[in-house]
Amino acid sequence: MSRVLIVEDDSALRGSIRTILGNAGYEVRTAADGSAGARELQAGAFDVVLLDIGLPFIDGWEILRRLETRRTPPVIVISARGEERDKVRALDLGADDYLAKPFGADELLARMRAVLRRSQAPAGTGPVVTAGDVTIDLSAHRVTRAGTEVRLSPTEYGLLAKLAEHAGEVIDQRTLLREVWGPGYTSERGYLRTFIQRLRLKLEADARSPRLIVTAGTRGYRLEQPGK
């Protein structure tokens, strides 16, 4: 049974989400403000966090900043702020998904299934792929750069693994979105741009002039293997 933490100050919405997830078989904990949410995250292990942004005491932005510094469960931001810049900011700070209020039960559950699918993907049987000083072990789900392990979120790893499986080939944007996020995300190109940039910041010598994860015009992206 997957454990979920809901950090939401609106008591009616918090109760509604808890009921939806509980009826769907999730084990649910709740927190009514950012301080309580931070304590829950320190004390327990969760499979998914549903995080509001406009929280009392400690806002959702600050919680995302704290989570980014350590290995954490995937985070779905739930917010009344539906503007693109807020979505991009949340993804930049490490959120895995962004769900604008109001939303229905079906959409919430679909997002939950998608994020859990990415985070609980079983170890594969693929090869070890090298790209410059980056090594991607597709069997162990392990990525190193110059011999040092690189911490990636489940979504970051899923995107890199998909590129590594087809190293040297261009994968179009819609295919990447469908294969990594799911069929309901094929129009979310902002997600893809943000996560590509996050990978570049962690793996490239200069993220502004990428040599490993390159953009192929308007078509998609390719993992280069210098020297091959």
Decide: residue 164, CB within 10 A, 0-12 exposed, 13-18 middle, 19+ buried: buried
Residue range 39-65, pLDDT digits in tens: 999 888 899 999 999 999 999 999 999
- Fold observed for domain 128-223: Arc Repressor Mutant, subunit A (1.10.10)
Q: Is the pLDDT of residue 33 over 80?
A: yes
- Asked if 3-119 and 128-223 have one fold, the answer is no
Q: What is the mean pLDDT of the chain?
A: 92
- Fold observed for domain 3-119: Rossmann fold (3.40.50)
pTM for this predicted structure: 0.86
Which residues, in sequence order, are CB contacts of 42 under 8 Å at separation 6+?
A: none
Q: What is the pLDDT of residue 81?
A: 77
- 228: tokens are 């091959």
Annotate 61-81 with b (16+ C-beta within 10 A) or e (fewer).
bebbebbeeeebbbbbbbbeb
DSSP 185: G
Domain ranges of the chain: 3-119, 128-223
CA distance 7 to 29: 9
Residue range 76-126, pLDDT digits in tens: 999 987 678 888 899 989 899 999 999 999 999 999 999 998 887 666 667
